[in-house]
A and B are shown apart, each in its own frame.
Chain A
Amino acid sequence: MSLRIENVHICSPGSELHGQTAVAIENGVFADAKSTKTDATHDGQGFWLFPGLLDLRAHLREPGLEHKGTMASETRAAVAGGVTTVVTTPNTDPVVDSPADVRLVLERGAAQGHCRVLPTAMLTQGGQGSHLSEMAALMEAGCVALSQGNRPFASQKIQYNALKYAASLGITVFLDSECRDFTGGCAHAGHVGTGLGLSLNSPLSETLGLAADLELVEATGVRAHFSRLTTQRSVERIRNAKARGLPVSCDVTLSHLLYSELDLVDLNPLFHLERPLRTCADRDALRAGVVDGTVDAIITDHSPHEPGAKLAPFPETEPGMSLLDSTLPLLWKLSRDADLPIERLIEAMSRRPAQLINQDHLGQIRVGAIADCVLFDASSHSELTPQGIRSSGHNNPVLNHRLEGCLSQVWVSGRPVQG
């Protein structure tokens, strides 16, 4: 089975096909449109053709939290939003910390998932932060990286040991930098959170943690990827670390690029996030970091919740947004609203994160790469409705909003899939 997609505008930074108007798909991989004989043709009507998006952090909620979402529901949401590869978090119930857990995620993903599911697992047993997990076996079972989810290490000494051990095996670790003494608080410690009388989270919770983690990275030589940075100072620190040649990368969430502390004024629990929305200056620094490449990747940190989790006063609600359904339209919106180049935003959700987890065959429309791609009609509109949303979590801030752009078709490994 082979297919020719023509009359499109290919946007795949770094690929020889970037800017071209046609591509072929043969046996699930991209092929040259001129030299490949194809059985069928898909007329792209002049739409954009993007690589399938790769999300480095999404909570698919299986195993154990199926009341919030399932592999089936959340990967359907992913496809509906143009995401063809999802990297899962290990903080499920139970946590993913053994090869058997990893295989469970892979098998459920393959059986029920609508897109590709790549697992990560815990650096420590049970995510407890005190005993190292069997890192080599976890990677062998199919993990693309190891992390602590959002859990702390019992001590910096143990963290040092975990990073040192991972470094010796060439494993990439994802770190959620946080200084535990400063954690807690549901709003950024700025004038909005103070004015609303909410419990406050100081940016020091992140920057102190990051400073210490960078020291540990330098001391151990581990390949470290910092997740969910939210502050201007964090971006500066990563920029400096990269300039000094440290093996580091980082990501920011789509929510922190789109929103700020100002969105809390109505006490809408949808804007209650685990890492609080910070100032407009922070948001703008994150955006600038994405544009200049200091910020490597954009993630959704997709966190679907049952309705009850958000039906309480703001501080008592569970944090997180359900974003997968609207990922690509939100990237488009971000590009338009903040005047950021769409090429860079796409790259930060495809080629670059694929490189970070050593999946170079993903995230690009280039001859020989896995044929994951999205046909996007930027001239029309879409509206996510409560009936149309695929995620079990309706905690999506653009539910019932009209967004520019509409996904016309998504292919995963060359197969057309329905979100």
Chain B
Amino acid sequence: MHGPAALQLTADGRLKHLLTTEGLPKSLITELLDTAESFLSSQGQPVKKVPLLRGKTVVNLFFENSTRTRTTFDIAAHRLSADVVTLDIRTSSTAKGETLFDTLKNLEAMQADLFVVRHSAGGAPFFIANRVTPNIAVINAGDGTHAHPTQGLLDLMTIRKHKGDPSNLSVAIVGDLKHSRVARSLIHGLNGLGCQDIRAIGPGTLLPSDLPTLGVRTFHRLSDGLIGADVVVLLRLQKERMSSALLPSEREFFNLYGMTEERLKMADPEAIVMHPGPINRGVEISNEVADGPQAVILDQVTNGIAIRMAVMAMTISTQQDQA
């Protein structure tokens, strides 16, 4: 193993950072999902408060805009009884010219236990994890188009909850995979759990070149890729894909790839529909499907809190045992 995949594990294979789902062994993914489920009450909601991280300080380092992800990390940390500091970097020292490295050293000096990092540059959390003082955990909350591992894990959790062991499922991912760290993290996670049938559906301009090396089959026609799928994952389409001439219009995208009730019938009748949010109604998904019985989009959000609690608890516990 190289790069981020190697750096996040201890010598004996425990999780000390979460940087990517690539290369995570099945046992570790399963442990993460099990731990996350243990944080859900019998009603399926995350438990209100546990004292696991009392006295620990979690620093949210968001170099890129985020409301939803940051909020779920906040909630997760509070439910674990941690102290949470959120740094909006756009108004802080980096905006005044301080380098990322110096910002990091300053925060370390403030005795943080865990950094949650979102950054527009692929590999930035890896850079941070490589250089932080030992015993500080780093969680990647999205880096460029590289990875968004907690999203990938919450997707796996949602799939497992609704459909069981992913190794026997057909998963179809529709839309802009090229610019999607969400899709990449999900694919690595599905590979880790032994999923044999991963499909990507989209126009040539929105599918990355490395899909075959990840064991993903590509389709340009929705009708070819959707047949019999157990899980349908729709990705958010960014407006800038039109201005950079990768797509003619949202309307054409919806006409070709938008998920309607009619088209969903091509998938398995029991199929679930997922979306990392925020959804664009009438672009990736019709109102009927978004609000329909097969959509599990809001359950993904709930599971996201549990997954982030699990990741924080596990990484801090590993770091503590190493100290």
Binding site for B on A (CB under 8 A): 189-191, 194-199, 265-267, 308, 311-316
Contacts and interface: CB of A to CB of B under 8 A. Distances in A.
Given A190-B209, A196-B146, A265 B122 contact: no
- Which of A267, A312, A316 has its CB near the most chain B CB atoms (within 10 A)? A267
B101 A197 contact: no
Given A191-B213, A313-B119, A315-B123, A266 B2 contact: yes
B184 interface: yes
A199 B122 CA distance: 8
B290 to A, nearest CB: 28
Contact of B3 (A190, A267, A311): A267
B126 interface: yes
Interface string B111-143: 000000001011110110000000000000001
A68 to B, nearest CB: 16
A312 B100 contact: yes
A197 B122 contact: yes
Interface of B: 2-4, 22, 99-101, 119, 121-124, 126-127, 143-147, 181, 184, 208-210, 213-214
A197 B210 contact: no
A267 B145 contact: no
A196 B122 CA distance: 7
Given A197-B146, A197-B147, A197-B181, A314 B123 contact: yes
Contact of B209 (A194, A199, A314, A315): A194
B210 A191 contact: yes
Given A314-B121, A315-B121, A195 B100 contact: no
B241 to A, nearest CB: 15
Contacts of B3: 196, 265-267
A331 B147 CA distance: 38
B126 A313 contact: yes
Contacts of B127: 267, 312-314
Given A267-B3, A312-B99, A315-B144, A198 B209 contact: no
27 contacts: A189-B209, A195-B213, A195-B214, A196-B3, A196-B122, A196-B123, A197-B143, A197-B144, A197-B145, A197-B184, A198-B122, A198-B146, A265-B2, A265-B3, A267-B3, A267-B123, A267-B127, A312-B99, A312-B127, A313-B100, A313-B119, A313-B122, A313-B143, A314-B121, A314-B122, A315-B121, A315-B144
Contacts of A266: 2-3
B248 to A, nearest CB: 19
Contacts of A195: 22, 184, 210, 213-214
- Which of A197, A265, A316 has its CB near the most chain B CB atoms (within 10 A)? A197
Contacts of B209: 189-191, 194
A198 B127 CA distance: 14
Contact of A311 (B101, B122, B126): B101
A190 B146 CA distance: 14
A23 B300 CA distance: 78
A314 B208 CA distance: 20
Give the 8 A-B CB pairs with smallest separation, nearest first. Answer: A197-B146, A197-B122, A191-B210, A313-B124, A197-B145, A194-B210, A267-B123, A313-B121
Contacts of B214: 195
Given A194-B208, A313-B100, A316-B121, A267 B126 contact: yes
Given A190-B209, A265-B2, A266-B3, A198 B123 contact: yes
Given A265-B2, A267-B4, A313 B123 contact: yes
B309 to A, nearest CB: 26
A269 to B, nearest CB: 8
A189 B145 CA distance: 13
Contacts of B146: 196-198
Contacts of A308: 99, 101
A313 B119 CA distance: 10
Nearest to A197: B146
Contact of A312 (B4, B101, B181, B210): B101
